[in-house]
Amino acid sequence: MTPSSRPHLTGGPPVCHPGTDTGQRWTFGFPDGLTAEVHTRGARLHALWVPDRYGTPADVVLAPHDPAQTATAARYFGATVGRYANRIAQGRFSLDGKPYQLTTQENGHCLHGGTDGFDTRLWEAESVHTPEWTGVLLHLRSPDGDQGFPGNLDVTVSCLIGRGNELSFSYAAVTDVTTLVSLTNHAYFNLEGEGAVDILDHELAVDATHYTPVDGDLIPYGDHRSVSGTAFDLRRPLRIAEALARPEAGGGYDHNFVLRPHGDGTLRRAAVLHAPATGRRMEVLTTEPGLQVYTAGQFDGTVLGKSGTPYQRCAGIALETQHFPDSPNRPGDPSPVLRPGDEHRSRTVLRFSTSD
């Protein structure tokens, strides 16, 4: 199977391919719908083939041609990130009056779980297959003290495709000591195909009335702000190039949008991404309180994509459903604290359709 070719599926159970540096490769889907490839190293969505308005499938997930780059420049591409997605300032927080220090990287802050986060781990996997859903269950144990986090944490992530052209991520975790949990998938999408130049002609809508302002290190400060009259007002679909041209956007998004309502576990729409050129439309539904929108403003061609195209600025967009950045240090934000006897549960669904 070449890096950009779609596996031939007969509608049977997921297929496991031999292990490599990326771990096992699992392929699954339905013949006339979506097809995915997931790698167990990092519980990583490596590819997703989605039909366009004419029924022609294309891979819409960015990933490096050289798998070794998932340890460097392409570290988070498609990966499950944790224990804590996004940033914790200086890698410091307190729980029940006890201070903790995490491993740090980017500007001295903890990003996506630390220097050796869940994206680097080899997860265990098993197949799931019913008449309506097919995919994999991925399992990981994070030991007490992992990257500085307290407690043994047992994590399960399901990645399933439904016959209704849905890709579902469900997360579950339990701990034996009070800890923090915020998990997400960090895929970058380009609905014109992963080798297309950029996502600037895509249209984006986000169901949020407020966003989180950040400083130069992308650490939140102050209160959440209204999107009204700003580049962050995406309550109606807006061409991404037009949105990013507004001064407040700073040439690119890497911001948390505050989804409403939150906290009751109901699956609600967070965003819609649409590529007029292909007709592909991706609706994001989640139980999470926040959506981190990142338009890949730092991409500089270092990563060569699966189809041989260097990924330049805005080659893709990440729509990361999660808790808010640095929320362990912001008491007014939804709490990411998980205690023994409780279970962390979260679900995000990507629902695909086409326009005329």
Residue-wise pLDDT for 300-350, tens only, equals: 999 999 999 999 999 999 999 999 999 999 999 999 999 999 999 999 999
Beta bridge partners of 29: 35
In the predicted structure, residue 3 carries a pLDDT above the cut 60 = no
Phi, psi of 119 (to 5 degrees): -65, -20
**Cα three-residue angle 334-336-338, rounded to 5 degrees:** 135
What average pLDDT does the segment 7-25 reach?
84
Residue-wise pLDDT for 247-281, tens only, equals: 888 889 999 999 976 667 789 999 999 999 999 99
Q: Which of 109, 186, 224, 274 is catalytic?
A: 186
State both tokens at 216. Answer: 């130069």
Catalytic site includes residue 186: yes
**Cα three-residue angle 266-257-217, rounded to 5 degrees:** 135
Q: Are residues 177 and 337 in contact, defined by beta-carbon separation less than 8 angstroms?
A: no
Indicate left, alpha or beta for 123 from its phi (over 0: left) and psi (-120 to 50: alpha): beta
Predicted confidence band of residue 2 (pLDDT cuts 50, 70, 90): very low
Tell me how far apart the alpha carbons of residues 142 and 82 are, in angstroms, rounded to a whole number: 10
Predicted confidence band of residue 1 (pLDDT cuts 50, 70, 90): very low
In the predicted structure, residue 221 carries a pLDDT above the cut 60 = yes
H or E segment to which residue 18 belongs: strand 15-20
In the predicted structure, residue 8 carries a pLDDT above the cut 80 = no
Highest mean pLDDT among 19-33, 157-171, 250-264: 157-171
Q: Which of 37, 192, 194, 320 is catalytic?
A: 320
